[in-house]
């Protein structure tokens, strides 16, 4: 290892994305695998930008039917109206259930929209080699990755309602095509977050400032926490 090499990639190492073992591939190996867990090693996630773009754009397209089409139809005594995601939230507000309305609003509307915007922002910033606040962008990425699954709440609500309410003429609940599109948005954005490689943010930093000298090398200087 040279004195100036500070990232694993610079030092000729590949970090196993699965078991986090640091590996050094033999020269000339084409598809090196992690000697501990057997996962294929990559310097960076393969085609990270292209894949993440494709998945993010797919999610944008799915997002339109997810919000316009009904996610379910509740029929009580012969009368029924289709519910979209937004009308479901409105119904909770009308019923005076503010905390739940807020929860559903946040999980079904705020989180997917924010996630799409954040992914787009991260992609553009990496694409244009931005040096703006890499630390904040990495934190933003970690947040986006961990919060996405909570959008699934509405899909689960539909499943439970459909399971319990099946009373023939009295009341029925039917799922709607919007639910399929919405489930698609959640899954596709989860895949998008997984395929994005936050190390690309830092690779772009290194291009501008060069390698950090060994003088300021933080090797061994972790922040310990209890």
Partner 1 sequence: MAVRSIENEYAVAEHERVACHDCDLLFRKPRLQPGQKARCPRCGAVLFQRKGGGLDQSLALAFTSLILFMLANAYPLLRMNIAGRVQEGSLLTGIEELNSQGYWEISALVFVVTFLAPLAKLLCLFYVLLPLRLFGLRAPKAVLVFRWTEQLSPWAMTEVFMLGILVAVVKLADLAALAPGIALYSFAGLMVSMAAGDAVLDDHEVWERLEAAGD
Position 102 contacts partner 1 (CB under 8 A): no
Burial annotation 51-78 (CB, 10 A radius, 16+ → b, else e): bbbebbbbbeebbeebbebbbbebbeee
Q: Which range binds partner 1 by CB under 8 A, 52-60, 62-70, 100-108, 118-126?
A: 100-108
* Segment near partner 1 (CB under 8 A); pick from 59-67, 89-97, 111-119, 125-133: 89-97
Q: Does 194 bind partner 1 (CB under 8 A)?
A: yes
Give the x/- contact pattern for partner 1 in 28-67, rule: CB under 8 A.
-x-xxxxxxxxx-x--------------------------
196, 48 Cβ separation under 8 angstroms: yes
Beta 171-175 vs 14-15: how paired, if at all?
unpaired
With CB under 8 A as the contact rule, the residue among 78, 207, 215, 219 that binds partner 1 is 219
Q: Are 51 and 173 in contact (CB under 8 A)?
A: no
Based on the shown chain and the rule CB under 8 A, indicate whether residue 204 belongs to the binding site for partner 1: no
Determine, following the binding rule CB under 8 A, whether residue 131 of this chain makes contact with partner 1. no
Sole window of 51-59, 60-68, 118-126, 196-204 interacting with partner 1 (rule: CB under 8 A):
196-204
Alpha-carbon Rg for the chain in angstroms: 23
Encoding tokens for residue 52? 């993440």
């Amino acid at each position: 290892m040279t004195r100036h090499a500070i990232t694993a990639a610079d030092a000729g190492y590949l970090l196993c994305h699965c078991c986090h073992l640091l590996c050094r591939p033999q020269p000339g190996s084409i598809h090196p695998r992690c000697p501990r867990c057997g996962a294929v090693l990559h310097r960076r996630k393969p085609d990270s930008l292209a894949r993440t773009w494709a998945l993010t754009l797919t999610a944008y397209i799915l997002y339109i039917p997810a919000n316009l089409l009904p996610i379910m139809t509740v029929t009580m005594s012969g009368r029924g109206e289709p519910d979209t995601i937004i009308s479901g939230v409105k119904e909770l507000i009308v019923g005076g259930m503010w905390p739940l309305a807020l929860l559903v609003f946040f999980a079904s509307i705020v989180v997917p929209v924010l996630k799409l915007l954040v992914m787009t922002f991260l992609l553009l910033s990496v694409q244009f080699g931005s040096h703006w606040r890499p630390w904040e962008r990495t934190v933003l990425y970690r947040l986006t990755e961990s919060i996405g699954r909570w959008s699934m709440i509405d899909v689960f609500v539909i499943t439970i309602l459909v399971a319990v309410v099946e009373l023939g003429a009295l009341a029925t609940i039917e799922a709607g095509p919007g639910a399929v599109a919405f489930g698609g948005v959640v899954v596709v954005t989860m895949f998008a977050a997984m395929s994005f490689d936050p190390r690309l943010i830092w690779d772009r930093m290194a291009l501008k400032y060069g390698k950090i000298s060994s003088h300021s090398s933080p090797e061994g200087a972790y922040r310990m926490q209890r």
